[in-house]
Amino acid sequence: MKNIELNIKGVAETVVTADKLAVTMGSGSLTVYATPAMVALMEESACNCLAEYLDSGETTVGTELNIKHISATPEKMRVRAEAVLVEINGREFTFEVKAYDESGIIGEGVHKRFLVYSEKFTSKAYQKLKK
């Protein structure tokens, strides 16, 4: 991993489409932006934050989420997630994450990711199939 400093920022954007609605994703019965979709966008913003600092064969995996979904977003509205790196503890990275629609903030929280080596990590996961 290349040298990394605190307060770098990552962004991810999307439009709320039918596949991202709570009723479609199974996280509720309403036709509004699903919490799992918002969380995935927040994770994407954290990944984008670190992407240029990773060496070949390195990646990060999400290990912890503490998220509040505080406002509903209708279909067809744009959503933007932002992640700011606030702490580095060895290979663990902590982000403050926020999501916004065109009317303002819709979610916020803390997300942690851990640096792993892609091949080793995947191999270990697939060893479970041999048990």
Catalytic residue among 35, 44, 58, 59: 35
Give yes or no for a contact between 42 and 11, defined as CB atoms under 8 angstroms apart: no
H-helix or E-strand spanning residue 13: strand 9-15
The verdict on whether 111 is a catalytic residue reads no
The pairing of beta strand 92-101 with beta strand 78-89: antiparallel
Catalytic residue among 14, 43, 82, 111: 43
The verdict on whether 60 is a catalytic residue reads no
Catalytic residue among 14, 60, 69, 111: 69
The verdict on whether 69 is a catalytic residue reads yes
Catalytic residues: 35, 43, 69
